[in-house]
Each structure stands twice: as structure tokens, then as C-alpha cells.
Structure 1
């Protein structure tokens, strides 16, 4: 038996695996390979665990990487915007940073934690 055969009726190549011919299928390649950061990785894990159909659809259509890169970019921008807005609203300024650095660190950490929760709820796990 031949290792590879071509079926003209459907245009697919088949490879011999044991006693069976298995179609040689490949995923489509994405046009751009953008880097995926922390937020994109979290969303990917969420899709894999909770939204399997969406994950498989994006993966097999060749759009998963660009989708995750877009989610990562949106989440990063939202995080920076929220931290900046909350810090301004609560009076956490550069002056506080120079006068009372430990207080500033504590307040910024609280603000970042709240902003992370908002980003997780509205983008990552939505």
C-alpha cells in the first residue's frame, strides 16, 4: 500500500496510518503573528476551559492569534486608563509619591487590584 494517496473527488491527500488512510489536514496560517501578552493568555485559557466551541472555531479559522492580540491590547489600554482615572479621582499624585512613598505604593496597589478585577469582569471573562 502506498504511504500517501490523492483523492481527486475531494482534493485531499491521505496518509496511511496502520491500516487506515487519514486525511492530511492543516490549520490555515494567520497573516500576522502578533505577540499575545498576559491578558490574551488569560482569555485564551478562559476560552479553552469555558467556551470550547468559540476557541475551536477561532483556532480552525486561523483567527485565534489576532483575536487574542486584540483582546490583549484592549485589556491593557483599559487597565492603564482605569488606573490613571482612579488615581486622579482619589488624589494619588506624584506629590504624594515624593512625600509619603509607602502610602503611595499601598494606594496604587489597591487601585491596580480594583482595575484588574474590572478588566477581568468586562473583557477577559466575558
Structure 2
């Protein structure tokens, strides 16, 4: 798809008027981690995203997807392991320990699958 190129005059020269797309969403924790990963391990992909002006949008999308998936995994683990509000009321320290364990394991899944793009076995 060929787009019409606009030029601006600067002294005696015409320079392409290139603008990046407006993106106001934050890239967040997951986006920053993935950016660092692809910058170090897949520089061609990183440069391609930068040159097309799509890096920030890509990272913001990934951050939102990772956060949504994290919340979903946590809820599923809470149900499967029986971590409830009743447990919280009965033994708060047990509940905190269980929730910390669930969050840590869920974050490992996100890191492995989405941030570092490792294939699951």
C-alpha cells in the first residue's frame, strides 16, 4: 500500500514530513521487559518495528494482553487451589502466602510465554 508523501520546505530543500502515530497508552512493566528482550535477542524485529513507527503500539498491546492474561491465570489458580475470601477471613497469613505463590507462578507463565517467547513443552 503506497501512501502519498508530504514534504515540508526547509530553506532550499524539501524534506519528507514523517510523523509517528499518536499513541498515549503506557507500555508498562511487561512492555518494557519485552522491549529489552527483543532489542537484545531479535534486533532485526526491533529495528523493523521502530522504523515502521509501530514499536510503542506493539508494546502497549502486549502489555495489556499480558496484564489481562495474568489476572485470568490468577483467578483460575485461586479457584483450582481453593483460595477464597473465607480463607482470608479465617487465616490471613495462609491466604497471603497462597496469593503470593499464585502471583509468582502466574508471572512466570507470562514471562515465559509472552515476554521471552519461549515455547511451552
Q: Please give the range of the TM-score, normalised by the shorter of the 2 chains.
A: 0.7 to 0.9
SS in structure 2 opposite 1:122?
helix
Where do 4+ consecutive residues of structure 1 move more than 3 Å?
Answer: none
In the TM superposition, residue 105 of structure 1 has moved relative to its aligned partner by: 0.5
One of 83, 96, 111 as aligned partner of 1:120: 111
> Which TM-score applies when normalising by structure 2?
0.81
Find the counterpart in structure 1 of residue 94 from structure 2. 103
Q: Which entry has the higher C-alpha Rg, 1 or 2?
A: 1
1:66 aligns with 2:36: no
Question: How many angstroms apart in 2 are the aligned matches of 1:50 and 1:27?
Answer: 28
One of 20, 41, 50 as aligned partner of 2:32: 41
The size of the alignment, in residue pairs, is 107
Is this contact kept in 2: 1:28–1:61, CA < 8 A? no
Greater percentage in strand: 1
Q: Which runs of 5+ in 1 are unaligned?
A: 14-25
> Which TM-score applies when normalising by structure 1?
0.78
Find the counterpart in structure 2 of residue 21 from structure 1. none
1:12-23 matched pairs, under 5 angstroms: 12=15
RMSD: 1.8
Q: Which runs of 5+ in 2 are unaligned?
A: 1-10
